[in-house]
């Protein structure tokens, strides 16, 4: 059944794509895993269905359905909660969801119950195909909606990169796996081994397209081993090509309200050490960056804009430092600077038991010990929130005098 193989390919592609789109997003990783499990269950059922093991196929399909549903439920619970900035804990927000989001979230549950109520996973020959197609379609709908919402909240464009990956995967899979399918059809040898080889071919074609940039980096490191400058230039071009499909060209940071600007500032600070992720931030569209690039005669590309954004963020945090001649202090006036500089710029993780402090300098070690000894975790997050809001407002303000006045007002209100 052609539709079954199409569903297998879509599940496998979208599962890999979501996992690869943002490796640090646990919600993406869980959703992608549920799609990959669904693809694996469908593929295994296809292979077993052409054998004499009908009962085993029925049991195997049912088992994978349940495991996939449990994994998806974890993702769905994450999708129906939101982060509280002060505590970094998720809270249930079903009542705040749009009606369309509620329907899309409930749809996989409805399909799962409908299949389970049949009494057995297979009630007629090859019915597992339609079971997986219906359940897979529900998962795909949920995953696409989740992808759109999350990327919109992050200020990234979703459609260009989404279509690029989908189109490339479909074309390459059709070209390479289509030849294998045609050969199997002409030879009339649809057995477990040929189906298995066809599914493997589909997986390889899709994997190559989803991970095209990391694979190209590996191949370049081999092919241009003797040419380090060429490798560096090609790495730069790959980054530009990748970021351009994710960057929202219509973003206008100056037009954002305070809450939205704060959200993107907090995210940009958390990505300070990852230039490629930072380059996709809508804050790279700040007019201030245009001015600074023009003043120093730099190229106006995504990498240079990300480098300039890093400089602006570092300077903005530096303005929160009470005394420039000291590296660290513990008085109240230091709290916002400490809460931003050492975790985001230096990279310390005060409340992680697995964090290693071997490479920290003296001031960073002192800050780490101070956080762990005297600063409760909730207070630490509150300081980060207040500090990030000061940085966000600094990005929007143009008058230095008004910035200084705002800092003094925030400092007085916090005491």
pLDDT score for 131: 82
What's the confidence (pLDDT) of residue 415? Answer: 46
Give the pair of three-digit tokens for residue 78.
């994450």
3-class DSSP state of 89: strand
What residue has token string 């529900």?
138
Looking at per-residue pLDDT, the higher value among 75 and 400 belongs to: 75
Q: What is the DSSP code (8-state) at residue 83?
A: E
Which residues have C-beta within 8 Å of that of residue 321, sequence separation ≥ 6?
Answer: 334, 337, 341
The residues near 262 (Cβ < 8 Å, ≥ 6 apart) are: 388, 389, 392
Distance, in Å, from the CA atom of 205 to the CA atom of 13, rounded to the nearest integer, reads: 10
pLDDT 10s digits, 178-232: 999 898 888 878 888 899 999 999 999 999 999 999 999 999 999 998 998 999 9
Per-residue pLDDT band at 92 (split at 50, 70, 90)? low
> Model confidence over 375-397: pLDDT tens digits?
999 999 999 999 999 999 888 87
pLDDT at 81 over 70: yes
Residue range 12-54, pLDDT digits in tens: 999 999 999 998 899 999 999 999 999 998 988 888 877 766 6
* Closest C-alpha among 249, 174, 180 to residue 9: 174
pLDDT of 399 strictly over 50: no
Cα–Cα dist 42/179, whole Å: 22
3-state secondary structure of 90: strand
pLDDT classification of 348: cutoffs 50, 70, 90: very high
**What is the rounded CA–CA span in Å between residue 58 and residue 390?**
59
- What are the structure tokens assigned to 413, written together? 């209100």
Please list the residues that pair with 81 across neighbouring strands.
92
C-alpha span between 114 and 128 (Å, rounded):
13
H or E element at residue 81: strand 81-84
Expressed in angstroms, the distance from the first to the final Cα of the chain is: 69
Residue 344's SS3 state is: helix
Euclidean distance between CA atoms 38 and 89, whole angstroms: 29
What pLDDT does residue 401 have?
39
**What's the pLDDT tens digit per position in 160-171?**
999 999 999 999
Tell whether the model's pLDDT for residue 121 goes beyond 50. no
Q: How high is the pLDDT of residue 53?
A: 67
């Amino acid at each position: 059944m052609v539709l079954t193989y199409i569903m297998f390919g879509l599940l496998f592609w979208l599962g890999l794509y979501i996992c690869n789109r943002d490796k640090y997003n646990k919600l993406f990783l869980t959703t992608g895993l549920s799609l990959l499990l669904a693809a694996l269950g469908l593929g295994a059922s296809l292979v077993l269905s052409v054998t004499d093991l009908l009962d085993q196929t029925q049991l195997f399909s049912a088992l994978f359905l349940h495991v996939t549903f449990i994994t998806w439920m974890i993702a769905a619970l994450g999708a129906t909660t939101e982060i509280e900035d002060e505590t970094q804990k998720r809270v249930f927000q079903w009542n705040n969801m749009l009606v369309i989001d509620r329907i899309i979230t409930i749809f996989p549950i409805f399909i799962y119950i409908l299949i389970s109520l049949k009494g057995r996973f297979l009630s007629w020959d090859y019915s597992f195909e339609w079971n997986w197609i219906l359940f897979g379609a529900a998962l795909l709908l949920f995953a696409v909606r989740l992808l759109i919402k999350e990327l919109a909240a992050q200020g990234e464009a979703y459609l260009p990169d989404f279509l690029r990956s989908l189109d490339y995967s479909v074309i390459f899979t059709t070209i390479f796996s289509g030849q294998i399918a045609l050969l199997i059809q002409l030879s009339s040898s649809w057995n477990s081994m040929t189906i298995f080889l066809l599914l493997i071919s589909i997986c390889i074609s899709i994997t190559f397209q989803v991970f095209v940039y990391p694979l190209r980096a590996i191949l370049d490191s081999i092919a241009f081993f003797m040419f380090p400058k060429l490798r560096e230039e090609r790495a730069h071009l790959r980054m530009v090509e990748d970021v351009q499909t994710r960057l929202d060209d219509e973003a206008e940071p100056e037009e954002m309200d305070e809450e939205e600007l704060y959200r993107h500032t907090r995210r940009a600070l958390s990505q300070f050490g990852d230039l490629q992720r930072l380059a996709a931030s809508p804050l790279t569209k700040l007019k201030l960056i245009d001015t600074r690039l023009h003043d120093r005669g730099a190229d106006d590309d995504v990498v240079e804009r990300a480098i300039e954004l890093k400089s602006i963020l570092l300077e903005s945090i530096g303005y929160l430092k009470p005394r420039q001649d000291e590296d660290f202090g513990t008085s109240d006036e230091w709290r916002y600077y400490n809460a931003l500089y050492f975790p985001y710029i230096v990279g310390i993780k005060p409340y992680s038991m697995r964090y290693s402090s071997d490479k920290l300098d003296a001031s960073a070690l002192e800050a780490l010990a101070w956080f762990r000894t005297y600063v409760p975790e909730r207070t630490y997050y509150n300081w980060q929130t207040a500090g990030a809001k000061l940085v966000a407002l600094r990005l929007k303000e143009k008058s230095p005098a008004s910035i200084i006045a705002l800092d003094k007002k925030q400092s007085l209100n916090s005491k």
